[in-house]
Amino acid sequence: MRQGTFQWMKSVNKSMILNKIRKDGPISRAQIARETNLTPPTVSSNVKELIEQKMVEESDVGQSLGGRKPTMLVINNEAFYIIGVDAGPESIECIVADLAGRKLKRSETKLQLPINNQQFMDAIKQGIADCLQGMSETQDKVIGIGVAMHGVVDVAAGVSLYAPNLGLSDIPIKEELEKAFGLEVKVENDARAMALGEYWFGNHGELESMLAVNIGRGVGAGLIIEGKLYHGSSDIAGEIGHMTIDLHGEICECGNQGCLQTFVTGPAITRKVAGKTSTDSLTAEDVYELAIQGNDDFAAILTEAGKAMGVGLTNLVHIVNPEKIVLGGGVSKAEKFILPAIRETIRASALTPSASQTTVEVSKLGDDATLIGAITLLLVDIFE
C-alpha cells in the first residue's frame, strides 16, 4: 500500500465516519448521520467508498424501529496493516499489526553499541524487513510505519533530535524510512507513543485526561488531554525524568542536580545497591527478584524509588490533574514495592481529597505497550 491511499483515507468526513464505526459499531448509516450531524447522502457516499476500499464492511442486519431493518456497519480490521517500531536503546523491536492492534508478526534486532546514525537506521530497516519477510500478501495491505523513539523528537519532521541513551542526534528517521519503503511514516517520543497506545487499547474507559509514565533506563511521560496527545510548544512535553526532586541530589546525565530519574530508573536502582552485596553486576530486575525472596535492604530501595516517583507524580497531579496515571516500562514490574509507595505519597501530599485519590495503576499492555503505541500513531491519523 503506497502513501496515496493513506492520504485518501484521511479526509475529514471519512475520518469522522470511521471513528464513529470504530467506537460504536455495529452501527447503521442513519445513526451515523444523526450522531455526527453529517447529511445522510454524505454518509452514504463516504460509506460506499469505504466499503469499496474494504475498510468498512456490512454486518448482520440491525434491529428495526419500524420499517425496514437497517444494515449495520463495522470496521474490517484486516483490511490494512501497520508496522510498529520500538527503537529502544539496546534493540529494535518491530511488529506487523491489524487495525485492532492484533499482532501478526514480530522481529527483534539487537543493536551493536556504540553505534552511529547510519548504523542505527540500517538496524531499523533490517528489523522492518525481517518482520515483513514471508508476508508477501500482507505487504500490499501495509499503510504505514509508526516509530516510537526515546529522547527528543521533532514530530513534524520525523527527526530524532537527541537520543541520550545512544549518544546520537539529528537522525532523519521519517525521511530515510519513507525513501526505503514508500510508506507513510510517523515518529514520536516513546513515552508519548505509549500514552496513545494506552488510551486506545488499555481498556481505561472514557477518559478526558490520562498520564502514562514509562520508567526504564530513563523516565518519560505522555499526556492525553481531551483525547489528544499533548506535545508542548517545542515537543518536549513529558520529559518528567528531568524534573528536580532534590536540589542537593545526585548529578543527572543532563547536568542538572537531583532529577527524578536519578532516583527511580533501572540504573539509579542498581547504583543504590552498591556496597549492599558482594556482586557488582546486579540489574534492577535482579534487585527486584532478591527483594521478593526476602532481602529487606533491596525491598527498601525499591520502596524509596516509589516514594520519589510519588513526589514527582504529585507535582504532575497539581499541574495537570489527570483522571488516571498509568505506569509502564521495566521498573513498573516492581509494582509490589513501588506502587503502594507511590499511592501513599500522593495520598499524603496532594492538595485536595479528590486529587489525593487519583488512580495510579500499572499498564496491562505489558512489554508491548510502546509497540502498540507506535501503530496507534497511524491509527490516530486514519480515524481522527
> Could you tell me the CATH number of the domain that includes residue 21?
1.10.10.10
Phi, psi of 241 (to 5 degrees): -60, -20
The structure's pTM equals: 0.88
β-pair partners for 28: 72
d(CA 6, CA 381): 9
Phi, psi of 324 (to 5 degrees): -145, 145
Angle in degrees, 0-180, between the axes of helices 117-132 and 173-181, rounded to the nearest 10:
40
Q: If we measure between CA atoms, which residue out of 215, 327, 190, 217 comes closest to residue 283?
A: 217
Question: Same domain for 59 and 156?
Answer: no
Last residue of a domain, one of 28, 45, 75: 75
Question: Same domain for 94 and 232?
Answer: no
Find the CATH number of the domain harbouring 93. Answer: 3.30.420.40
The answer to whether the CB of 146 falls within 8 A of the CB of 84 is: yes
d(CA 352, CA 315): 13
Give the burial string for 323-354 (b: 16+ CB within 10 Å, else e). ebbbbbbbbbbbbebbbebbbebbeebbeeee
What per-residue confidence (pLDDT) applies to 1? 46
Question: Same domain for 50 and 23?
Answer: yes
Question: Same domain for 172 and 211?
Answer: no
Q: Which helix (H) or strand (E) holds 74?
A: strand 71-75
Count of domains forming the chain: 3
Question: Same domain for 350 and 220?
Answer: yes
Q: Which amino acid is at 112?
A: Q
Question: Same domain for 352 and 210?
Answer: yes
Last residue of a domain, one of 75, 97, 128: 75
What per-residue confidence (pLDDT) applies to 164? 85
What per-residue confidence (pLDDT) applies to 278? 59
Give the rounded distance of the alpha carbon of 119 from its chain centre.
25
Neighbours of 184 (CB within 10 A): 26
Last residue of a domain, one of 46, 75, 104: 75
CA atoms within 13 A on the CB side of 16: 15
d(CA 124, CA 332): 26
What per-residue confidence (pLDDT) applies to 280? 65
What per-residue confidence (pLDDT) applies to 180? 96
In the chain, the N- to C-terminal Cα span, in Å, equals 20
Collapsed DSSP state (helix, strand, coil) of residue 142: strand
Q: What is the total residue count of the chain?
A: 384
Q: Which three cell numbers stand for residue 284?
A: 534492577
Question: Same domain for 331 and 311?
Answer: yes
Collapsed DSSP state (helix, strand, coil) of residue 137: helix
Collapsed DSSP state (helix, strand, coil) of residue 297: helix
Question: Same domain for 39 and 109?
Answer: no
Phi, psi of 309 (to 5 degrees): -65, -35
What per-residue confidence (pLDDT) applies to 281? 77
| Cα dist from 189 to 101, 118, 261, 263, 365, whole Å | 19, 20, 17, 22, 18
Question: Same domain for 166 and 304?
Answer: no
Question: Same domain for 331 and 375?
Answer: no
Q: Which helix (H) or strand (E) holds 111?
A: none
- pLDDT < 50 stretches in the chain: 1-2
Residue 153: domain span = 81-196+370-383
Question: Same domain for 334 and 377?
Answer: no
d(CA 317, CA 122): 41
Question: Same domain for 101 and 26?
Answer: no
What per-residue confidence (pLDDT) applies to 81? 94
Contacts of 321 (CB under 8 A, 6+ apart): 209, 355, 358
